[in-house]
Every structure is written in C-alpha cells, then in structure tokens.
Homo-oligomer: A and B are copies of this chain.
Amino acid sequence: MHPFDSAIALEQVADGLARGRTQPEWANMVGPFGGVTAATLLRAAEQHPERQGAPLSLTINYLAPLVDGEFDITARPVRTNRTNQHWTLELAQDGEAKTTATAVFGVHRDTWTDTEATPPTAASPEDIPATGFGEFVVWVRNYEMRFVEGAIPGPDDGPSPTSTTTLWVRDGRGRALDHAALAAVSDIFYPRTFLRRGQFVPSGTISMTTYFHASVDELATVGDDYVLGTARANRFSAGYFDQSGQLWSRAGQLLASTHQLVYFKG
C-alpha cells in the first residue's frame, strides 16, 4: 500500500467511529505531519456511510500533538441539506482529544463560473531542481518539491523581506491527487517565520481551513502531475501569524484556497 494510503487508512469500529494508526513515514518534528492528519479526518467523513457529495471545506484545529500509535476518529453528520452536508469530527488518543474539525460536503451544480485569482508566475517544474526541505523532518521525503520562490532558508541566506513561498509539489511515488491528498498538500508550506527570520523558529499550526474548489473529475485530470502551491503571511504579532495560500493545477485551475493560523516563539 502507498504510504499515504496507509497513513489515512481507517477501520470502522462502530457507527461513526473509525480507528487509524500513525505511520513513521509521516513523522514531523513532534507527532505526524499536520497535513496527513487533516487528510485522515477528511477521509473519515468521506468513507462514512451517510456521506453525500464531495468536500467543499475543512477546518482542522490542532489541540495537541499525536503520539505514535492508534487513534480514534468520531465523525458526525450533524445536518444533511438538499445540496450540502455539515460534519463535526474529533480525533482522540486514549480518550484525550488531539484534533477537532468541521467539514462541509456538497453537490457540485452547473452555474456561472469564473476564476478571479491569478496563479503565480512560475517556470516549468521540469526546469527547476527538486530540493525538498533538506533532511530535518521525515514526512517531506514523501513529496517531490521544486521551489519557484522562497525555498527553506539555508545557514547563509538571512532573513527574507517577504514570506511568500511558491513551489511545485507532487507525490514522490506517483499517487494520483484526490481530496484527501489535496487536504494534505494544503499544509505543505514550512512556517513563514523561518523565511522572514532566516532561521529555525519554533512554530506550529493551530488551525487550518481549506476550501476545495476542484471536483473529483478535475482532480482526476490532474492525476499524478505537479500542483503549484503558493502561500504568504499577512501579519505576525504577539506569538501568532496567519497564512493564506492557493493550490493550482498546471493547467491554471484553482484547486483549493487554504488558510491557517500559526503559533510561533521568538
């Protein structure tokens, strides 16, 4: 099984209760990569027998780091409307809540369409070396990353005047993109504090919200191709900053908008 599919695999143990297990391939500095936890919570709703429609939004709150081992996810479809469905989710270990989430699923309808945002200018991924983040966390080895702008700073880089990072990213083993994978990629950006300060700064995501624009068919068209991700911070103060990002297909479709609030020290 692909390591991403192992990481988000859930066994249904009771009505609305699913059990999974952390995987060493997804280790972050403390606990697993937050993106894979987001993907796992989304998957819990996706595979629930009452699920209707495709993911429209996901908000995940990181209460405490997961420890290695099993976790339980409760997924509750709080309300099902004609065209959308609202979920609350909670991930716990040994009865202790580690992550909470809400999600909205919905039906895609044929309407007026326009993309007002514009993708960042970027050379082709084939013309940019695959550098990743270096070796400081394990989970990055699952992705192929080619930085257009704002790669993780090296010891001689110093502070950057802007917090923008733009990169091409795809699964390192050619797994095709789906909504769970897109939820994970939403959290692909290393902390903006590293870039602005030109050094490692203790930082961690507190809450992340992703709006999924792409339908199942649109993601199938992307397949295993690169996604162009871009993110920047708005304000850093009092130990927190917020980040806004976008995930684009190579063909110029805005697949998702993603936002997060991050804690930092120093």
Interface contacts beyond A79-B97, A114-B236: sample of 15 additional A-B pairs, CB < 8 Å, sorted by A = A63-B78, A83-B263, A84-B263, A109-B239, A111-B236, A111-B237, A111-B265, A112-B236, A116-B163, A116-B232, A117-B234, A207-B209, A211-B261, A213-B234, A213-B238
User: Is A190 close to B, CB under 8 A?
Assistant: no
The reply to whether B259 and A259 form a contact with Cβ atoms under 8 Å apart is yes
Main DSSP-derived SS at the A contact region: strand
* 10 CB < 8 A contacts A-B: A63-B86, A78-B90, A102-B102, A106-B263, A114-B196, A115-B235, A116-B162, A116-B234, A234-B257, A257-B259
User: Is A81 close to B, CB under 8 A?
Assistant: yes
* Chain B, Cβ-Cβ closest to A101: B102
The reply to whether B100 and A240 form a contact with Cβ atoms under 8 Å apart is no
Taking CB atoms, residues of chain B closer than 8 Å to A257 are 234-235, 242, 244, 259
Provide the bound-state CA to CA distance between A117 and B236, in Å.
10
User: Is A108 close to B, CB under 8 A?
Assistant: yes
Number of chain copies forming the complex: 2
* Chain B, Cβ-Cβ closest to A58: B207
User: Is A88 close to B, CB under 8 A?
Assistant: yes
How many chain A residues sit at the interface, stated as a range, is 35 or more
The reply to whether B263 and A246 form a contact with Cβ atoms under 8 Å apart is no
1/0 per residue, CB under 8 A from B, across A35-63: the answer is 00000000000000000000011010101
The reply to whether A213 and B239 form a contact with Cβ atoms under 8 Å apart is no
Taking CB atoms, residues of chain B closer than 8 Å to A207 are 56-57, 59, 102, 104, 209
* Chain B, Cβ-Cβ closest to A209: B209
User: Is A10 close to B, CB under 8 A?
Assistant: no
* Chain B, Cβ-Cβ closest to A63: B79
Provide the bound-state CA to CA distance between A162 and B116, in Å.
7
Taking CB atoms, residues of chain B closer than 8 Å to A117 are 234-235
User: Is A215 close to B, CB under 8 A?
Assistant: yes
9 nearest A-B residue pairs (beta carbon):
A108-B238, A109-B239, A117-B234, A113-B237, A63-B79, A211-B242, A59-B59, A235-B254, A209-B209
A45 → chain B, closest Cβ, in Å?
Answer: 13
A166 → chain B, closest Cβ, in Å?
Answer: 15
User: Is A197 close to B, CB under 8 A?
Assistant: yes
User: Is A233 close to B, CB under 8 A?
Assistant: yes
A24 → chain B, closest Cβ, in Å?
Answer: 25
A214 → chain B, closest Cβ, in Å?
Answer: 9
User: Is A143 close to B, CB under 8 A?
Assistant: no
Given contacts A209-B209, A233-B116, contact A57 B261 (CB under 8 A): yes
